[in-house]
Amino acid sequence: MSAESHPTPLGDQLRGAFDWWREAGVDYAFADEARSWLDRKPASDTSGETTAPTGWEPREAPPPSALANRAPAAPPAAPAIGGPRESWPDDLAAFAGWWQAEPSLSPSIGNLRAVPTGPAQAELMVLMAEPVAAGELLPEPSPEGRLVAAMLKAMGIPANRVYTASALPAPLVGADWMELGQSGLAALTAHHVALVQPRRLIAFGSNLWPLLWHEPAQAGPNLRIFNHESGTVPVLAAPALERLVRRPADRRRLWQDWLEWTAGDGSA
């Protein structure tokens, strides 16, 4: 090295190197080998003695098998619709009061629920999935109410021989009818029909299918037998009332199904 050369001090060299890497966007030092920061064994110093940071108390993690075998907590079971079977009224007159008060049937209570009407052993039971309006099964001014009244008149069945009901006491937005049926509504509907003991049943709307037959709706005439708690009843499966109001072709088809269903018994 010549006398004229002036070597850069080591400190300046290090600062220059750090500045270069910082300008390149490297702020931290990285190592290729992994280091266990939770190791219970403190590192040894040059004297052979072990040291650990003051106040540091490492914890031992549970073995992976203990976490893998830990079963997730089961969610609480939802109460069955209608409550315990033994609490269901076995008398049709008592059923109406229970229908208005049982909390599992609907968030709505009292006057917001539509109460089924009609006599036991009715000539015809009219069943829909939900009331047309809150508090009313078939309001007379509604298109659905006028349609059913006209149908009964054409069928020659007096209003006092008709039992009108819904599977739920109040409208339920976004109802999953398959799930409702499996949660107790199918059994409750069967109990309701058994209390009425109607001669015939018209089921309006495919939402009732999971409650009556546990299968999807089918197109065309749908004459069936419904098995309830104490026997059977013939059923005419009809489109939903709101659909019948909109579609004259469906009304004509339903009327033809009714005529075929009642042919020869003098009821139409």
Which of 70-79, 129-138, 140-149, 221-230 has the least mean pLDDT? 70-79
Determine the average pLDDT of the residues in 101-126. Answer: 90
Determine the average pLDDT of the residues in 128-152. Answer: 93
| Domain assignment present for 4 | no
Compare 262 and 20 and report the one with higher pLDDT.
Answer: 262
Res 268 pLDDT > 50: no
Band of residue 131 on the pLDDT scale cut at 50, 70, 90: very high
**What pLDDT is attached to residue 5?**
55
CATH number at residue 187: 3.40.470.10
Q: CB-side exposure of 20: number of CA atoms within 13 Å?
A: 6
**What pLDDT is attached to residue 80?**
85
| Domain assignment present for 197 | yes
**What pLDDT is attached to residue 67?**
55
| Domain assignment present for 168 | yes
**What pLDDT is attached to residue 172?**
86
Instruction: Yes or no: say if 186 and 211 are a contact pair by the CB < 8 Å rule.
Output: yes
| Domain assignment present for 47 | no
Q: Is 135 left (phi over 0), alpha (psi -120 to 50) or beta?
A: left
Domain range for 130 is 88-262
| Domain assignment present for 36 | no
Is the pTM of the predicted complex or chain greater than 0.75? Answer: no
| Domain assignment present for 55 | no
| Domain assignment present for 32 | no
Determine the average pLDDT of the residues in 161-170. Answer: 96
**What pLDDT is attached to residue 227?**
76
**What pLDDT is attached to residue 174?**
84
| Domain assignment present for 35 | no
pLDDT tens for 229-261 read: 778 899 999 999 999 999 999 999 999 999 999
pLDDT tens for 75-111 read: 555 668 899 989 999 999 999 999 999 999 988 777 7
pLDDT tens for 3-57 read: 455 667 777 777 777 777 777 766 666 666 666 656 555 555 555 555 555 555 5
**What pLDDT is attached to residue 267?**
47
Q: d(Cα 255, Cα 238) in Å, to the nearest integer?
A: 10
Band of residue 219 on the pLDDT scale cut at 50, 70, 90: very low
Number of domains in the chain: 1
How far does CA 267 lie from the centroid of its chain? 40
Phi, psi (degrees; rounded to nearest 5) at 155: -75, -15
How far does CA 142 lie from the centroid of its chain? 29
Q: How would you class 253 by CB atoms within 10 Å of its CB: exposed for 0-12, middle for 13-18, buried for 19 or more?
A: middle
Res 129 pLDDT > 80: yes
pLDDT tens for 169-198 read: 999 888 899 999 999 999 999 999 999 999
